[in-house]
Amino acid sequence: MNLKALSSMGRIIRTMRIEAGKRNPPVNKIEKITKSDPFRSLVFTILSARTKDANTMLAAGKLLAEAPDPRALARMRIKKIEKLVRSSGFYRMKAKNLKAMAQMLLGDFDGNVPASMEKLLLLPGVGRKTANILLAYSFGKDAIPVDTHVHRISNRLGIVKTKTPEKTEKALMAIVPRRFWKPLNHAFVSYGQTVCLPRGPKCRECRLNRICWRIGVKRSGI
């Protein structure tokens, strides 16, 4: 374990947010669509699975313009949902899950997005990453949403040695101080979108290269 990186978690998060902020990461634009509203955030996160943020924002913007609440989405025909979210990829399955999710919100939760992991996981299309995003960003609870960026960078730094996002979440929760749980996701995602890229990470530009073990990095970019 990279104890130096782990002990510098506060500085790592600050550095990532500052450096990524200079490069206008896509994640910073999500707030314009979700507006910190639990339902809008839920729709966006379901659409984001295995999809680039630019395509997710396009699909979410179109869908939420016509279905801004669970009732409107539950009433919408599947074919129309598919048309609106087509840019997000895997749109047929996502459309099916979105409609079922809205129906469950109305039928089981009085039209409100539940604020617990257990209940969120009952919703169609919702996994631990989505549930943690809702808990952290919409309900202000301590959680570590782990997507591909968080999983990749945590392993590159040498903070964890894990094979799946689920195992990364568990490992990070065990070693990262609780005060850093909520800011960790945004920092790692924004940095992963701008500097610590999946392919050709910009190691020469990285302000953290002195403490990064670069695990799995075969070729870095300029």
CATH of the domain at 122: 1.10.340.30
| Residue 78 sits in the same domain as residue 101 | yes
| Residue 61 domain flag | yes
Domain that holds residue 39: 28-138
192: which residues sit within 8 A by CB, 6+ positions away? 148, 149, 150, 152, 153, 198
| Residue 189 domain flag | yes
pTM here? 0.91
| Residue 38 sits in the same domain as residue 19 | no
Give per-residue pLDDT as tens, 183-196: 999 999 999 999 99
pLDDT for the residue numbered 220:
73
| Residue 212 domain flag | no
| Residue 37 sits in the same domain as residue 51 | yes
pLDDT for the residue numbered 51:
86
The length of the chain, given as a count of residues: 222
Q: How far apart are CA 38 and CA 155, in angstroms?
A: 30
| Residue 159 sits in the same domain as residue 126 | no
**CA-derived radius of gyration, the chain:** 18
pLDDT for the residue numbered 128:
95
| Residue 218 domain flag | no
Q: What is the DSSP letter of 136?
A: I
Low-confidence ranges of the chain (pLDDT < 70): 221-222
133 close to 145: Cβ distance less than 8 angstroms: yes
| Residue 222 domain flag | no
pLDDT for the residue numbered 219:
75
How open is the CA angle 81-46-134, to the nearest 5 degrees? Answer: 135
| Residue 186 domain flag | yes
Q: What is the count of structural domains for the chain?
A: 2
- Which residue is it, tokens 């955030």? 41
| Residue 105 domain flag | yes
| Residue 149 sits in the same domain as residue 88 | no
143 close to 129: Cβ distance less than 8 angstroms: no
In Å, how far are 55, 80, 150 from 166, measured between CA atoms? 25, 33, 11
pLDDT for the residue numbered 222:
59
